[in-house]
Amino acid sequence: MEFALSEEQRLLQDSVTRYLESQCTLDHVRAAVENEVTKHTEVWNGLSDMGIHGIIIPEDFGGVGLGFLEAALIAEALGRTVAPVPFIASCVMAPVAILAAGNASQKDIWLPKIASGETVFGVGVSEQVGRRETNGIQFSDGKLTGKAMFVLEGMSADMLIIADDKGVMHIVDANAKGVTRRNLKTIDKTRAVAEVVLENAAADTLSGSQNNTEALLKTIDTGRLMLAADTLGASEVMIEKAVAYAKERKQFNRVIGSFQAVKHMCAEMATELEPCRSLVWYAAHSVNHIPDESRLLACHAKAHLSEIGRFVAKTSTEVHGGMGFTDLLGLHYWFKRIGLDRQLLGAPELIREEAAVAQGW
């Protein structure tokens, strides 16, 4: 009985965190954001060298074959450094979809390319969470037509996984004929979402998703889990920054952290976030080891981290006073990262409704 990270897991997370803290600095983030770059940055390539791209891809396909807990630890580290990389879509959701619903040849072709960093995948499944606007994709005769919105990493991707109106997933070449992409600007410039308009675009169907929604749901759930882990990491840093600021900033001849009001704001943030870490670990662990519970846990991890993340983002900004509201410290990159995580793949109320359905409530 051990509810803790193994030595290997700790080492993995430490080395990725150390790497990101040294390479994915705020300056790097600012520069990447300015150039709207999220792939082929040095950081993305460096992560590739560390084997991160293939973290959940089996060794047979050129990956390192680790579990979702390891993937969550990476996502947390990326959230900590607001890293502008397409990890969640390309290294988690796309491999999950292909592994769960792809045929042998699809696996053989794409998984090694993802693991090696040769190919970046974007993922468009938002319509399966709740359709906004007049979007929706029809599939017939091996072609896709329609509009997918909020395609994760849609702009930077070479290939796309797109779910159609029936929930069947397909692989689409992002640069093929009949595929038009448009950047949707959000508050968070460290990750990109896109609108993808398809007009008779050639589609390579993931046939395992044709007769049941298991693969689709697993793709969404693991995406949610990674977003939760990302929020966990970003929130940790917002608390650390608030505590550090509270120890250093003086007003009324005292460091502000000695004022009970500020101290309690910090204590409340830390208190709310701490059990979230355990929840994310457990939810990630369950994908591999307790699959019966994993749907409910992914929903709860995403929704709960969204709520706590919002509280932390707001409170940390308040602790920083006016400085938190400016661009000077760059604190808003974390604020907005948490803000985007919250909305992607379902905002909390919608996800909780799914959790209710999952329990037959």
What is the smallest separation between the CB atom of 278 and another protein, expressed in angstroms?
3
Which residues, 6+ apart, have CB-to-CB distance to 14 below 8 Å?
Answer: none
Residue from 10, 40, 264, 289 touching a copy of itself (CB under 8 A): that is: 264
For residues 152 and 69, give the distance between their C-alpha atoms in angstroms, rounded to a whole number.
21
Q: Which of 82, 50, 278 is nearest to 190 (CA)?
A: 82
Q: Is 253 in the site for a copy of itself (CB under 8 A)?
A: no
Q: Beta partners for 182? A: 195
Residue from 116, 178, 207, 259 touching a copy of itself (CB under 8 A): that is: 259
Q: Is 289 in the site for another protein (CB under 8 A)?
A: yes
Q: Is 27 in the site for another protein (CB under 8 A)?
A: no
Q: Is 211 in the site for another protein (CB under 8 A)?
A: no
Name the strand (E) or helix (H) holding 155. Answer: none
Q: Is 5 in the site for another protein (CB under 8 A)?
A: yes
Indicate which of a copy of itself, another protein, none lies near residue 150 (CB less than 5 to 8 Å, by partner kind): another protein
Site for another protein in 228-247 (CB under 8 A): 243, 246-247
What is the smallest separation between the CB atom of 265 and a copy of itself, expressed in angstroms?
11
Indicate which of a copy of itself, another protein, none lies near residue 10 (CB less than 5 to 8 Å, by partner kind): none
Which residues, 6+ apart, have CB-to-CB distance to 303 below 8 Å?
Answer: 348, 351, 352, 355
Site for another protein in 171-190 (CB under 8 A): 182-188
Name the strand (E) or helix (H) holding 184. Answer: strand 179-184
Cβ(246)–Cβ(150) below 8 Å: no
Site for another protein in 71-130 (CB under 8 A): 126, 129-130
Nearer to another protein, 51 or 348 (CB): 348
Q: Which of 97, 107, 122, 102 is nearest to 179 (CA)?
A: 122
First-to-last CA distance in the chain? 32
Residue from 1, 4, 104, 261 touching a copy of itself (CB under 8 A): that is: 261
Q: Is 165 in the site for another protein (CB under 8 A)?
A: no
Place of tokens 């791209």: 53
Site for another protein in 32-71 (CB under 8 A): 69
> Among the candidate windows 47-55, 159-167, 171-179, 293-301, which touches another protein by CB under 8 A?
293-301
CA 57 remoteness from chain centre = 17
> Among the candidate windows 35-43, 171-179, 230-238, 261-269, which touches another protein by CB under 8 A?
261-269
Indicate which of a copy of itself, another protein, none lies near residue 33 (CB less than 5 to 8 Å, by partner kind): none
Distances (CA, A) of 312 to 236, 238, 278, 321: 9, 7, 17, 14
Q: Which two tokens stand for residue 315?
A: 């409170």
Residues that bind a copy of itself (CB under 8 A): 259-261, 264
